Amino acid sequence: MVDNAQDERAGIVAEGGVRLDRALVALFPDLSRARLQDLIRTGQVQRDGLPALDPSGKVAAGAHIVLRVPPAAPAEPVAEALDLPIVYEDDDLIVIDKPAGLVVHPAPGHESGTLVNALIAHCGASLSGIGGVRRPGIVHRLDKDTSGLIVVAKNDTAHQGLTAQFADHGRSGPLERAYAAVVWGLPQPRAGTIQANLARSRFHREKIAVVSDASGRHAVTHYAVAEAYGEAALVRCRLETGRTHQIRVHLAHRGHPLLGDTVYGGAFRTKAARLSSEARAALTALGRQALHAELLGFSHPRTGTTLRFESPLPSDMTALVQALRAEENGAPRL
Candidate list 143, 145, 261, 316, residue with the active-site label: 143
State the Cα–Cα distance between residues 101 and 313, nearest whole angstrom: 15
State the Cα–Cα distance between residues 66 and 10, nearest whole angstrom: 4
DSSP one-letter string for 103-140: -SS-BTTBSSSSHHHHHHHHHGGGS--TT-TTSTTB-S
State the Cα–Cα distance between residues 193 and 280, nearest whole angstrom: 30
Contact 223, 180 (CB under 8 A): no
Among left, alpha and beta (phi > 0; psi -120 to 50; other), residue 28 is beta
Residue 180: name the closest of 277, 69, 320, 42 by CA: 320
Cα diameter, the chain: 69
Residue 143 annotated as catalytic: yes
Kindly list the distances between the CA atom of residue 257 and the CA atoms of 129, 156, 324, in Å, as whole numbers in the listed order: 37, 38, 16
Which residue type occupies 96? I
The catalytic site residues sit at 143
